[in-house]
């Protein structure tokens, strides 16, 4: 594959998608690695480019609720969530319609499908111009830190994909919240860029977070080890050693002479989520012995941040760091 093209031309990127190529593109959450969801070979190439296990399903991105309803069965609760939060950082896991043309590889062979309508105007323009649903996991090597800028994508997947559609830095900064609507009541499969409290307010009910269970994954982001830098993470740190970098939060920072990134000096979890992956990229590039991470409250988007940090700190399954 030739060098990866960096472009702001939606028509060029859409043509690559239509012919079965791979295009990383900006969304409000993180950069996604897009491919034609109807093309088995194109979907397979996403797994190959990322080094992603094929039992880990992909999210299919569409332009509207109407486009999503053509692919999946919506319960009244699912429709309420879609109307409240799409376009936006919410993914719904639903039963596929029998007529659903999306590659079964995207669903890891399951009868369900994960769907999202992104809020980034460039992402929506790309989907409309391509004229097909677009699968799009995060545009990075599997298990590594997620990308929130074109530079992050190039560092991880340069030469493995055809193009990057540059829409500037991602504003939300963590992946979408994933909610399963397969049972009688919705269940959160992955905390993300839409806070749990907002979903519960829209539904008028308390939602539980799905527990990790062996077997097939219903959603991306459920692997035990994921989102990881090369340096090991030490969580709930109140200080940092001389060879450690510090990932800080809030105004009360321990004395530290080494590298430091503060996710939010004002203690705002939304700001911290937007800065999380970029800060991890910068600290990891310095090759510290470890990254000490200060405690972050679970309120608001803190639940999603702590989910990513726990998975990033989990034992690595492979010596390369790939998950």
Instruction: Give pLDDT tens digits along the chain (323 positions).
Output: 569 999 999 999 999 999 999 999 999 999 999 999 999 999 999 999 999 887 789 999 999 999 999 999 999 999 999 999 999 999 999 999 999 999 999 998 899 999 999 999 999 999 999 999 999 999 999 989 999 999 999 999 999 999 999 999 999 999 999 999 999 899 999 999 999 999 999 999 999 998 765 555 665 655 565 688 999 999 999 999 999 999 999 999 999 989 999 999 999 999 999 999 999 999 999 999 999 999 999 999 999 999 999 999 988 654 333 33
Are residues 281 and 184 part of one domain?
A: no
Show the domain range for 292. Answer: 233-313
Let me know if residue 294 belongs to a domain.
yes
In a domain, 226, yes or no: no
Q: What is the pLDDT of residue 321?
A: 36
Q: Do 189 and 274 share a structural domain?
A: no
Determine the pLDDT at residue 219. 59
Statement to judge: residues 178 and 304 lie in one domain: no
Residues 47, 103, 85: CA angle, nearest 5 degrees: 90
Is the domain of 37 the same as that of 144?
Answer: yes
Residues 72, 166 share a domain: yes
- 277 lies in the same domain as 174: no
What's the pLDDT at 323?
Answer: 32
Kindly state the tokens that stand for 26: 């900006």
**Per-residue model confidence (pLDDT) at position 83:** 98
CA 175 to chain centre: 3
Is there a domain that residue 163 lies in?
Answer: yes
CB 149 within 8 A of CB 24: no
Task: Please check whether residues 195 and 267 belong to one and the same domain.
Answer: no
pLDDT at position 285:
96
CATH number of domain containing 78? 3.90.870.10
Q: In this structure, is residue 221 part of a structural domain? A: no
Q: Show which of 203, 223, 256 is a domain's final residue.
A: 203
Omega before 285 cis (within 30°)? no
Do 193 and 238 share a structural domain?
Answer: no
Residue 13 near residue 7, CB atoms below 8 Å: yes
Nearest to 49 by CA among 149, 166, 142: 142
Task: Give a yes or no: residue 208 inside a domain.
Answer: no
Number of domains in the chain: 2
Residue pair 268/232 in contact (Cβ under 8 Å)? The answer is: no
What single string gives the DSSP state of each residue in 168-181? Answer: -S-SS-SPPEEEE-
Q: Is residue 212 assigned to a domain?
A: no
Task: Assign 90 to helix, strand or coil.
Answer: strand
Token digits for 171? Answer: 């504003």
Is 321 a domain residue? no
Strand 187-190 to strand 177-180: parallel, antiparallel, or no bridges (unpaired)?
A: antiparallel
Distance CA 316, CA 319 (A): 7
Q: For 156, list phi and psi in degrees, rounded to 5.
A: -95, -40
- Kindly state whether residues 184 and 247 are assigned to the same domain: no
Q: Is residue 50 part of a domain?
A: yes
Considering the entire predicted model, what is its pTM? Answer: 0.92
Examine the domain organization and report whether 185 and 259 are in the same domain: no
Q: Can you give the pLDDT at residue 109?
A: 85
Assign residue 246 the CATH number of its domain.
3.40.50.11030
Same domain, 156 and 262: no
Residues, the chain: 323
Report d(CA 321, CA 312) in Å as an integer: 10
Query: Could you tell me if 172 and 264 lie in one domain?
Result: no
Q: Per residue, what are the HEC states of 197-230?
A: HHHHHHHCCCCCECCCCCCCCCCCCCCCCCCECC
Cis ω for the linkage preceding 87 (within 30 of 0): yes
Picking from 203, 224, 254, the residue at the C-terminal end of a domain is 203
């Amino acid at each position: 594959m030739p060098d990866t093209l960096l472009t702001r031309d939606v028509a060029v990127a859409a043509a690559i998608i239509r012919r079965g190529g791979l295009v990383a593109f900006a969304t409000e959450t993180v950069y996604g690695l897009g491919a034609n969801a109807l093309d088995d070979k194109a979907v397979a190439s996403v797994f190959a480019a990322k080094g992603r296990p094929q039992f880990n399903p992909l999210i299919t991105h569409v332009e509207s609720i109407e486009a999503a309803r053509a692919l999946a069965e919506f319960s009244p609760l699912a429709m309420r969530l879609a109307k409240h939060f799409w376009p936006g950082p919410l993914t719904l896991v639903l039963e596929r319609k029998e007529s659903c043309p999306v590659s079964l590889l995207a669903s890891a062979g399951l009868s369900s499908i994960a769907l999202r309508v992104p809020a980034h105007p460039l992402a929506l323009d790309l989907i409309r111009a391509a004229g097909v649903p677009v699968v799009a996991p995060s545009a990075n090597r599997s298990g590594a830190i997620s990308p929130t800028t074109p530079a992050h994508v190039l560092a991880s997947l340069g030469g493995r994909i055809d193009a990057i559609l540059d829409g500037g830095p991602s504003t939300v900064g963590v992946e979408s919240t994933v909610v399963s609507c397969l049972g009688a009541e919705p269940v959160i499969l992955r905390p993300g860029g839409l806070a749990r409290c907002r979903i519960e307010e829209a539904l008028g009910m308390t939602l539980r977070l799905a527990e990790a269970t062996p077997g097939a994954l219903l959603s991306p982001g459920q692997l035990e080890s994921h989102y990881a830098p090369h340096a090991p993470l030490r969580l709930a740190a109140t200080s940092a050693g001389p060879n450690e970098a510090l990932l800080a939060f809030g105004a009360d920072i321990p004395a530290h002479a080494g590298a430091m990134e503060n996710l939010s000096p004002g203690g705002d979890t939304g700001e911290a989520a937007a800065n999380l992956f970029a800060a991890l990229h910068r600290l990891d590039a310095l090759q510290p012995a470890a990254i000490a991470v200060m405690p972050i409250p679970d309120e608001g988007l803190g639940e999603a941040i702590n989910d990513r940090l726990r998975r990033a700190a989990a034992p690595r399954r492979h010596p390369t760091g790939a998950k």
